[in-house]
Amino acid sequence: MDVAVRASAAAATAEDAGHGRATARRRPRVGVVKFASCDGCQLTILDVEDHLLEIAERFDIVEFAEATSRRSSGPFDVLLVEGSISTPEQAVEIARLRAEAKLLVVIGACATAGGIQALRTAAEHEAFRAAVYPVPAYVDSLATARPVADFVQVDAELRGCPISPEQLVELLVSLTTGRRPQLPDQAVCLECKRRGIPCVVVARGLPCLGPVTRTGCGAICPAFGRGCYGCFGPRENANTAGYAQALVTGDAAAGADGRGRDPVDVGRLFAGFTGATQPFRSVTDSLAGRPPVTLRPTLASPPETLRAGPPTWGPAPSAPEAPSAAAAKEAPDGPRQ
């Protein structure tokens, strides 16, 4: 569940960021870099208005192309990486950056799942190139656009296209407090229901990827009367085969005539922003009659628990003697709270 954050790196960061202590500590150096992507996720970072000042106070943003012209080569305490790896140079560059970063966090559908450009992984790369570019020989690209975790160890991920500003803040808060970031891996449906949005599958017969997609967006699409596009990628244990089957048979989202959907359309539904993830890709492949491919899991590192740094509030390490029960009793609001 949740996001995996590598132990040592997170502990170091928690210590660096300091929490409400008078003693100033070194602010963690944060970098934001991008590969093949649209910059939308980076822009989200500027979108956290209420917290922007505090983030700038607590973190030293040393590299952020969208916001400043400063350039720094690292090292980074936290490196946020946007975009998928789609050229040979990028593959080299991400390896270099990994060596410079204590904590590498991939952000957005491109970096976590390949993104929309990973559609080419299910197609003929040369044919694509020839169709798009007048002189394909000028374009040096890898045959696939792949998530960052296919190339280097990743410590944490923020999903979405674009990422959610709230989740970004939650991740940063978890770094300064040492608590487990609450980035639920459950289906969009839960948020949809909590918000009281009538299900578009049941009420309107629209196909919606919400049941197999990870929550985090706040169920934006159903709130506007459309089906979920799956931009946060597969939820835990997504039963994509069962859902695709139901869309084809008409058990789910049947039209007015009670009939199901064309398998080709259902396949396309799963081939969007995060279509290059195993649970979605296997549906697209099987509905298109292609042999199944095995993709690497999006999060390369096995989920580990975030380790807290030592608490920064509380008595100083040199606290002389501990208060007694009597002292606790004297506290203004008494022992019962």
Partner 1 sequence: MSVATEVPTFLPRDRFDDLLQALAAGGRRVVGPTVADGAIVFADLERAADLPAGLTLATAPGRARLEPLPAGPGARRTFQYTVSGEGIKKFTFPSRVDALSMTTDLAGTVRVKVEAPAEPVPLAVVGARACDLAALAVHDRVLIGGPAVDPDYAARRSDLLVVAVECALASSTCFCATMGTGPEVTTGADLVLAELDDGFVVRAPSAAGGRIVESLGLAPAAPERVGKAAAQTAAARVAMGTDAIPANARDLLLANLEHPRWEAIAERCIACANCTLVCPTCFCTGQTVTSGFDGVTSTAARTWDSCFTDGFTQVAGGNFRPRHQDRYRQWMTHKFATWFDQFGTSGCIGCGRCVAWCPVGIDVRAELTAFAATAPAVAAVPLRDRGTLQPLAPPAPDALDFRRATVVSITPETADTSPLRLVTDDPAILAGTPGQFVMVGVPAFAIPPISISRYHPDGIELTIRAAGAATSFLTRLRPGATLGLRGPLGRGWPVETAHGRDVVIVAGGIGLAPLRPVIDAVLRDRAKFADVRIYLGARTPRERLFVDEIEALAAREDVLVRVTVDRAGPEWLGRVGIVTQLFKTVRGTGTDATAFICGPERMMAATATTLGDLGVPPEHMWLTLERHMECGVGLCGHCQFGSRFVCRDGPVFSAAELGDDLRREGL
69 vs 324 by CB, closer to partner 1: 324
Interaction of residue 188 with ligand SF4, rule CB under 6 A? yes
Helix, strand or coil for residue 61?
strand
Stretch that binds partner 1, among 126-134, 173-181, 260-268, 280-288 (CB under 8 A): 173-181
234 makes contact with ligand SF4 (CB under 6 A): no
CA R_g for the chain:
23
195 is an interface residue for partner 1 by CB under 8 A: yes
Closest listed residue to residue 80, CA positions, set 55, 54, 61: 61
Residue nearest to ligand FAD according to CB distances in the complex: 180
Stretches 2-10, 31-39, 118-126, 205-213: which one binds ligand SF4 (CB under 6 A)? 205-213
105 phi and psi angles, rounded to 5 deg: -115, 120
Per rule CB under 6 A, is residue 51 in the interface with ligand FAD?
no
Backbone angles phi, psi at 176, to 5 degrees: -85, -25
Cβ closest to partner 1, residue 92 vs residue 203:
203
- Least Å from the CB of residue 215 to ligand SF4: 9
Residue 72 interacting with partner 1 (CB under 8 A): no
Q: Which of 285, 263, 286, 159 is nearest to 207 (CA)?
A: 263
Binding partner at 254 among partner 1, ligand FAD, ligand SF4, none, C-beta below 5 to 8 Å by kind: partner 1
* Closest separation in Å from C-beta 210 to ligand SF4: 2
Three-state DSSP at 81 gives strand
CA distances from 236 to 156, 193, 244, 278, 286 (A): 16, 18, 17, 12, 21
| Nearest alpha-carbon partner for 10 in 183, 184, 174, 166 | 174
Residues in the site for ligand FAD, rule: CB under 6 A? 180, 305
